[in-house]
Amino acid sequence: MGHCRPIALIASCSLLSGLSNLALADDWPQWMGPHRDGVYREAGIVAEIPDAGLPVKWRMPIAAGYSGPAVADGRVFVTDYVKESGTSTNNSGGRDLLTGQERILCFDAQTGKELWKHEYSRPYNLSYAAGPRATPTVDGERVYMLGAEGDLTCLKSESGEVVWHRQLAEEFKTESPIWGHAAHPLVHGDHLYCLAGGAGSVVVALDKKSGAVQWQALSAAEIGYCPPTVQTLGGREQLVIWHAESINGLDLKTGEVWWTYDLKPRYGMSIAAPQFSGNTMFASGIGEISAVVEFDATGKPAETLWTGRPKIGVYSGNATALIDGTNVYGADCGSGEYIAVDLLTGKRHWETFALTTGGERRASHGTAFTVKHEDRFLLFTETGDLVIVKMSPAGFDEQGRMHVLDPTNECFGREVVWSHPAFAVRSMFARNDKELVCIDLAE
């Protein structure tokens, strides 16, 4: 409609804009959803899971990987690794040598039919070397894939044709992290942001259409595994980067560092994205490393409300904990329990294994991926279960669960599935090392 005039046409444009926003809510084009906030906004979703479970719309075979699926414009994108030689021992202290094909596959969201795939030969020298870690990022006609050894590829989302490719580890003269490149690429405006490594290039901003480097910033001994996010603090948008040594706020256009907050998880494992509620930031990682920080009117850290210590807080590992009101809900890396915490004090409201491992004993890196939907949460546990649950400081109430996928990988002697699901077109899309499954969530 271009220039909408007069008032009637303005109202018409507003209505169309609203309908467009509703359509966008149907997609899950990147890690943790359209806004990287772990909130599923689609209407018409089941409020509970019946004893017989929810309908399975389709299952399709895929190979191994930790990366979650992304869903956009009726297509599902997922990456995997077809091993040709070598053995993955899941030794957290050492790398395994593998050869194989790293791939991105595209499926029809409604039928599961494979639409296209792109693959290339890629040796791995990694710990826990099953496959790619980073969820594809879809931006309209383009999809971006980050492989475990730093292959960053832009493809046409409709056909799989390669637009451009960069090898981050080679170009920025650095070794891939021991657990692989895991920081899901972020598109914002005309830029694609990703973690690379090397001196002065922990984070790089690329032209999303050409792949040309626009700027690079930050130095650290290790880049960590935490995805970039954009937050509005002090009235201005900032790129938030948590590498292995500190959390940083940067100018999106220039890479200028506006602030730095020192926070060092053990083993370089900055994984879970810092979460924000207004001017309050919550960040946590392995080793009881945590901080809740208030920002001032200029958008810089001003006061630390509490830091990590035994018997308070929750310390995120594979899955990012979510802030809901004045509470935090998430899986604890140390104990393996699912924990509810008061955001402003760190006081624990309750703890349970029922929503992570289903066991009764301490289980390091116990995992459940948390997504908020209206007044309830959708949890995907490391045992392969979908659980609908209501949570509050007083406790939790399961609204049903179903077994979706068998855990096909291993951690510390127990079987696990560690992959963030996608929620779109009134469906859940989840994967293990053998298949991609679509579950019908329509009420």
Q: How many CA atoms lie within 13 A of 331 on its CB side?
A: 29
Residues of the chain by 3-state class (helix, strand, coil), percent to 5: 5, 45, 50
pLDDT, residue 16, reads 39
Question: In angstroms, what CA-CA distances link 210 with 26, 154, 214, 255?
Answer: 28, 9, 11, 19
Q: Band of the pLDDT at 25, cuts 50, 70, 90?
A: very low
Mean pLDDT for the chain overall? 94
| Beta carbons of 433 and 66 less than 8 angstroms apart | no
Q: What is the DSSP pairing of strand 151-156 with strand 213-217?
A: unpaired
Q: What is the mean pLDDT of residues 239-253?
A: 98
pLDDT, residue 13, reads 40
Residue 133: exposed, middle, or buried by beta-carbon count in 10 A (0-12, 13-18, 19+)?
Answer: buried
Q: How far apart are CA 270 and CA 247, in angstroms?
A: 9
Q: How far apart are CA 66 and CA 78, in angstroms?
A: 10
Q: Which of 375, 373, 278, 398 is nearest to 326 (CA)?
A: 278
**Whether the predicted model's global pTM rises above the 0.85 cut:** yes
pLDDT, residue 5, reads 36
SS3 state at 208:
coil
Residue with tokens 């009726």: 74
Q: Which of 228, 251, 232 is nearest to 240 (CA)?
A: 228
Cis before 29 (ω within 30): no
- 229, pLDDT greater than 50: yes
Q: How far apart are CA 358 and CA 204, in angstroms?
A: 40
- 18, pLDDT greater than 50: no
Q: What is the mean pLDDT of residues 177-183?
A: 98
Q: Which domains does the chain have, with CATH numbers?
A: 56-440 (2.130.10.10)
List, for residues 114-142, the tens digit of each pLDDT value.
999 999 999 999 999 999 999 999 999 99
Find the helix or strand (DSSP H, E) in which 24 lies.
helix 7-24
The strand pairing partners of 388, in sequence order, are 378
SS3 state at 195:
strand
